[in-house]
Structure 1
Amino acid sequence: MKSNDNCGIQRFEKGRLRSVSRTVVQEYPLRLTVNDRDLATLVASPHQLNFLVAGFLRNQGFVSSLTDILTLGVCADFGAARVQLKGEIPERLSPTLTSGCGTGITFALPHPPAPAPLKVRFPPVSPAAVFSLMQDLQRRAEQYRSHGGIHSAAVGDGRRLLLYAEDLGRHNTFDRIAGEALFKGIDLAGKILVTSGRISTEMVGKAARLGIALIASRTSPTDMAVRLCQEAGITLIGYLRGENFEVYTHPEGLLAPRHERIPGVTGVILAGGESRRMGSDKSLLPLNGARFIEHVHHLLDELFDEVILVTNSPSLYGDLPCPKVPDIYYRQGSLAGIHSGLCHAGNERIFVVACDMPFLSGAAIRRICAETGTAEVVIPRSASGLEPLHALYGKSCIPAIEEVLDSGERRIVSFFPRSRVVELPAAALADIDPEGLSFRNINTPEEYFALRDRSLLPANPEAASG
């Protein structure tokens, strides 16, 4: 964004005044008319005003998709924007002056929906991804460096920057991002939002309605913003500067640094199922910009020094950076996959998960792996029963597993009577995962589409059967 306004000023430097030219921020009032009704005057920077208007209407709850907007026109010469919506706007609106720069505004609708807690646990984000996105934000903030007074914000998916906005008002940057995402069809659910400005409660409200999973700022949040992030399930980071930051809410949204990996355990992903009910390979289904199996691998790679994929179709996962090993007992089910993982692992213990478990929690996995002693199997129990595809196994189980496989038995629990098994009751993980989401997998197209729509999936009684 470039400004053409230059101002002759006197600069006091080294004990004397001298004349210099300084580019100053442009302040542009835009009168917004919606359905032939004067709604508000937005004070903003004079660029990409269509994104600003659409995002403002979206964040105020007047629209949820582009189809709600019949026409949107901006006349920059006259500082006016006219919008025709498919639906009506409420007759009575209560404007609230916010803490935004230049005094922001938000409307209390007759029955405003409170930002609901995020219904899907999105894959945790590495600190490196947060630092990288903030660095990208700073590199793009050219106008801020040239004359100050400009706020900036960006959205990323943990791999790259997707959207960037800058404006003299920090609230406007959120609206611009929401509007551009609306125009470009970018789903903001589960994404990372970084901003140069302070995080206030109304900004968190906007982010929560968009499904943002993590918010990071170079400065501090307000107390109400912290409370709202806690309620909404959003990871909130403040004072992100250099190589440091402070986490105010939901630290489980961050991956553990590499030096805190779980020692002596190999992460094992089983990808040998036939996906009959899904109709296609579940591990390759897309979710939030990556495949199921990529999300699972990404989490395990941050938790364990070694991750192994057990699959009889290694060519499907050629770009996954981990060893791929086949069944030793070919196509004998999940028990054979566990056996192969144990035989190929470089550690004495393995933690086993399936490739279609999108709600995995690093904190829950850590707690299970923390159970030491003489146990050969550490397995949690949920409302559905034992969860053998979210459990810890030791190499000493190999003879017992081979014995039952040789007998033709394929159920995972069939070798338990021959091994030392420790069961973790549901209460042991209740503070981390009270709804037992970690154990749920995706088996049908209906469950998959429900996940994409960010709805809670129904309990899956078959998840514990192996």
Structure 2
Amino acid sequence: MSDGKDREDPSGKPSVLRYDGRRLSAEDHGPVEEFPLALTVNGVELATLICSPHDLAYLVGGFLRMQGLVTRPDDFLALSVCSDFRVALVRIRGNVPERLKPTITSGCGSGITFNLPAASPQCGPPGIRQAFSPEEIFTMMNELARLAEGYRAHGGIHSAAVGDGKTVLLHAEDLGRHNTLDRIAGEALFKSIDLSGKILVTSGRVSSEMAAKAAGLGIALIASRTSPTDMAVRICEERGITLVGYARAGKFSLYAHPWRIAFPSEEEKIEGITGIILAGGSSSRMGSNKALLPYQGGRFIEAIHRQMASLFREVVVVTNTPELFDFLPCRKVPDLVPGMGVLSGIHSGLVHCGTPYVFAVGCDMPNLNPGLIRHIASLADGSDVVIPETAKGLEPLHAVYGKNCLRAMEDALQAGKGRVASFFDRVKFRKIPREE
């Protein structure tokens, strides 16, 4: 038996062994670091924050902001953090109340707050009433996952981000989900960033503490990959905050104020064009069926289908293995000329669709741009092919093709020409320049 010496890490940090069903092997990462930070404000030992050991000034500033002890950057007379001794010494304008009644919250590691706002009917909704689309919610959730470097390195880390539905303004990671929001609140305070009317996305459960803090920041919409608590729902209802849970794989649940979600109506969909997704099969580059690669809790093709379905009245998947895509609520059609690649897939989509045009995309393009697709589609009248130009040349899998292309496509396929551009000289072809 091992005496354990072979498991010692020269850095002094505990090493991790993984059992894979047959043997033990060393993991390439250690456990998440838990960092106790003793916070003293105006000489009063206020609390010990259990947190992750980075950007501690933002955490301290946000914690005090969320407790109502500061409201502006100049409320801080001094703020000093010593990581070696794990202490934060702060002096602020005004006095710290002599009697603070702590509330032990449902935060990871037992969060604490001195100023948990009670949900009351007097709390009115914020005046900002802009709407967000489902795509904007999923965009923010995708960005949250992309930015979660700590989670990918260690696991066991929560993350949160605030943005406008298109871009992330602030992002934070911490072992406590409540700390992530404090960090964002602190950074926003010190950088004078107004978070009113923005979207908050979080990896963890939405508790009453999270909802109350979001209300204090003027957040308009909270979205989480998991569930809210009943008290969080109540606070969001009374504060006018839209609350979204289980936002993953193109779906979510709405718990409060659904009016803020701008769902696309049938009238907004692109007329006269069918969306087609080419799902040909395996990829030598990715090593497996591209369409089925995992993506944000679902699969590539689920994200693509969801976006296409929001734009077109019908979406068709062109595939020779329809059984792999039974989970998609749309028609699946095969290649009519197998073995000829992308051109064969576009040809089959055109033959099977009931509209004058198709818009074709690949099955490995989960981040479609609805605005660009609408622009390309708007140029279809009077042309047989509308295709954008990129730095690498023409992009055939982000283009419109008309029924008038069928004869030229079939001639090219019969001649063994699988290159999409091989028939362009026989049809009305419109190239969208890069600068456009």
Same fold (TM over 0.5): yes
Q: Is the 8 A contact 1:197 1:217 kept in 2?
A: yes
1:116 positional shift: 3.0
Match of 2:14, SS? strand
The alignment-based identity, stated in percent, is 56
Q: In the superposition, relative to structure 1, how do residues 127 and 112 fare at CA in structure 2: closer, same or farther (>3 Å)?
A: closer
Superposition TM-score, scaled by structure 2 size:
0.57
**Within 2, Cα distance between the matches of 1:6 and 1:117?**
50
Q: In the superposition, relative to structure 1, how do residues 215 and 260 fare at CA in structure 2: closer, same or farther (>3 Å)?
A: farther
Counterparts of residues 364-375 of structure 1 (less than 5 Å): none
Equivalent residue letter for 2:224: S
Q: Is the 8 A contact 1:116 1:208 kept in 2?
A: no
Counterparts of residues 147-166 of structure 1 (less than 5 Å): 147-166=154-173
Match of 1:53, SS? helix
Among candidates 33, 36, 48, match of residue 40 of structure 2: 33
Q: 2:203 matched to 1:173? A: no
- Unpaired stretches in structure 2, ≥5 consecutive residues: 1-10, 271-309, 311-370, 373-436
**Within 2, Cα distance between the matches of 1:82 and 1:260?**
59
Q: Is the 8 A contact 2:126 2:239 kept in 1?
A: no
Equivalent residue letter for 1:197: G
Q: 2:102 matched to 1:95? A: yes
Superposition TM-score, scaled by structure 1 size:
0.53
Counterparts of residues 330-345 of structure 1 (less than 5 Å): none
Equivalent residue letter for 1:242: A
| Matched positions, count | 265
Q: Is the 8 A contact 1:58 1:64 kept in 2?
A: yes
Counterparts of residues 24-63 of structure 1 (less than 5 Å): 24-63=31-70
**Within 2, Cα distance between the matches of 1:5 and 1:197?**
31
Equivalent residue letter for 1:27: E
Match of 2:85, SS? coil
1:261 positional shift: 4.5
Q: Is the 8 A contact 1:74 1:82 kept in 2?
A: yes
**Within 1, Cα distance between the matches of 2:67 and 2:263?**
36
Q: 2:90 matched to 1:83? A: yes
**Within 1, Cα distance between the matches of 2:200 and 2:140?**
9
Q: In the superposition, relative to structure 1, how do residues 198 and 106 fare at CA in structure 2: closer, same or farther (>3 Å)?
A: same
Q: 2:89 matched to 1:105? A: no
1:228 positional shift: 1.0
Deviations 1:129-161 (A, max 9, x none): 111111111011012122211000000012210
Deviations 1:223-258 (A, max 9, x none): 111111111110000001121111111011111224
Match of 1:41, SS? strand
1:222 positional shift: 0.6
Match of 1:94, SS? coil
**Partner residue, 1:133:** 140
Deviations 1:401-429 (A, max 9, x none): xxxxxxxxxxxxxxxxxxxxxxxxxxxxx
Match of 2:114, SS? strand
Counterparts of residues 162-311 of structure 1 (less than 5 Å): 162-259=169-266, 261=268
Q: 2:123 matched to 1:116? A: yes
**Within 2, Cα distance between the matches of 1:35 and 1:186?**
26
1:113 positional shift: 9.6
**Within 1, Cα distance between the matches of 2:27 and 2:168?**
36
1:96 positional shift: 1.1
**Within 1, Cα distance between the matches of 2:254 and 2:119?**
27
Q: Is the 8 A contact 1:5 1:23 kept in 2?
A: no
Q: Is the 8 A contact 1:226 1:249 kept in 2?
A: yes
Counterparts of residues 297-446 of structure 1 (less than 5 Å): none
Q: In the superposition, relative to structure 1, how do residues 220 and 260 fare at CA in structure 2: closer, same or farther (>3 Å)?
A: farther
- Unpaired stretches in structure 1, ≥5 consecutive residues: 264-301, 303-319, 322-466
Q: In the superposition, relative to structure 1, how do residues 248 and 22 fare at CA in structure 2: closer, same or farther (>3 Å)?
A: same
Match of 1:22, SS? coil
Q: In the superposition, relative to structure 1, how do residues 52 and 95 fare at CA in structure 2: closer, same or farther (>3 Å)?
A: same
**Partner residue, 1:67:** 74
Q: Is the 8 A contact 2:34 2:51 kept in 1?
A: yes
Over aligned residue pairs, what C-alpha RMSD do you find? 2.7
Q: Is the 8 A contact 1:205 1:228 kept in 2?
A: yes
